[in-house]
Structure 1
Amino acid sequence: MPADAERIEIGPRVRALRENMGLSLRDVAERCGVSATTLSQVERGETSPTLQVAARIAAGLDLRLSQLLRLDESSSVTIVRRGERRRGGDAKRGHVIEILTAPLPGQRSELTRHELRAGARTGNADDPPMHEPGSREIALVEHGALVLHCDGVDHALAEGDCVTFDADLPHHFDNPGPGDAVLLAVVSAGLRRS
């Protein structure tokens, strides 16, 4: 039997991904060239697409077929142990970053932990936006106090405060001191344009 004739069950995943991206059936149909009726039947489990159709659906969701089928994942649960965190930032300038999420293919969000010594900042006022258009960031001040500079406006944040903002705007966090501060941040990717 040819590979594209093998049937696969992906309906619930297609629906979840489509809804997470804020796309209608018609939107995805236009993006991938598969009819909205067929997509609806796939989502409801009334039909299983061939691999060729599944590949087109994956492309419409900005994924590779292996990502849609989760062939790139070894498990549905991924744990990043404390010692396995990816690290970055500039310790000499007082900013240390730990990326807490695993680098999985197709992942649409990332959780980071930032340690800022007194007087340190995550970036400079003239830095270009680091995140793609449509990205959003949620940040929680776990310890200390910070100032968010976002699109030319300052926002004072105390321990326990949580802020949500458009991450595609110029922004950075400052720690005015006197003590150190810790920030947890989740950045969710914007919708990619086809």
Structure 2
Amino acid sequence: MSNIVDPVVRQIADRVRAERERRRWTLAQLADASGVSPAMISRIERGESSPTAVVLGKLSAAFQLSVSSLLALAEGATDGTAEGAQDDAGAFAGVRRLADAVEWRDPDTGYRRRQITGARFPVEIAEIHLPAGAQVPYPAAAFAFVRQAVWVLDGHLTFHDGDTVHELDAGDTVELGDPSPRVFANTTGADCRYAVILTRAAQP
């Protein structure tokens, strides 16, 4: 058995297990709700396997959390490296240095994600690097209870929103409506970089 030392993988493992246990679900119940095998969930929770973006999408849909929310919660432990203090409401305020940033990488597609805002900030912002030729599909349930916008920073993004396809270039934005199956695709030969801005609209 190999030990994965990546702190983000360990934090994701702890978050998935905590979300499952908070609901008092067994591995089998989470597997039924997500379509991810119990064996794979067990490996993820033990930190023995780094989940792909597709698997995280299925798990977040089962939890009725967005992928961004699930990863933001997992990365919340990194707030301690930022320079600042908590305000009167307990929210962090201060500088987050690029050198201290924690980046999560999808082992399947090479998709890379960095959380821009901290776990206690009221709006979640993440920076995504989508390699040439990669695509990441998410089920509709992964977008439940959230409002979300996508802002292309560099390159070209082919964004499937249900049956609608948007071809987005640098500077273009799209605001998402009701949950639907979505695919982030890079059909070009160059990397695409985009930001996801998300706020929770209701509690699951």
- TM, length-normalised to structure 2: 0.51
Match of 1:9 in 2: none
Given candidates 163, 170, 176, the residue that maps to 2:181 is 170
> How many Å separate the matches in 1 of 2:180 and 2:200?
13
* 1:1-194 alignment, distance < 5 Å: 70=89, 72-73=90-91, 77-104=93-120, 107-121=121-135, 123-124=136-137, 127-133=139-145, 135-166=146-177, 168-192=179-203
User: Is the contact between residue 129 and residue 167 of structure 1 (CA under 8 Å) also seen in structure 2?
Assistant: no
**Deviation of 1:148 (Å):** 0.8
Residue identity (%): 20
Q: Alpha-carbon deviations, 1:75-113, whole Å to 9, x = none?
A: 5x2322112323224154121011111111xx4321001
> Could you tell me how far 1:139 is from its partner in structure 2?
1.4
Q: Note closer, same or farther for the CA distance 1:103–1:131 as it changes in structure 2 (3 Å cut).
A: same
- The amino acid that maps onto 1:94 is G
Asked if the contact 2:126/2:197 (under 8 Å) is kept, the reply is: yes
Q: Report Cα offsets for 1:49-91 as digits up to 9, x if no partner.
A: xxxxxxxxxxxxxxxxxx9961x33x5x232211232322415
2: distance between equivalents of 1:91 and 1:182? Answer: 18
CA distance in 2, matches of 1:163, 1:146: 11
1:49 maps to which residue?
none
- 3-state SS of 1:93 partner: coil
Q: Which letter does structure 1 place at the counterpart of 2:99? A: G
TM-score using structure 1 length: 0.54
Mapped partners of 2:178, 2:185: distance in 1: 16
Structure 1: 5+ residue runs without aligned partners? 1-66
The DSSP-based 3-state class of the residue aligned with 2:137 is coil
Structure 1 residue aligned with 2:36: none
Residues 137 and 181, structure 2, Cα contact 8 Å, conserved in 1: no
Render the CA deviation track for 1:125-163: whole Å, top value 9, x for unaligned.
Answer: 6x3432332x22111111110111112211111121111
* CA deviations over 1:7-64 (Å, ceiling 9, x no partner): xxxxxxxxxxxxxxxxxxxxxxxxxxxxxxxxxxxxxxxxxxxxxxxxxxxxxxxxxx
Residues matched between the structures, number: 119
TM-aligned CA deviation for residue 170 of structure 1:
2.0
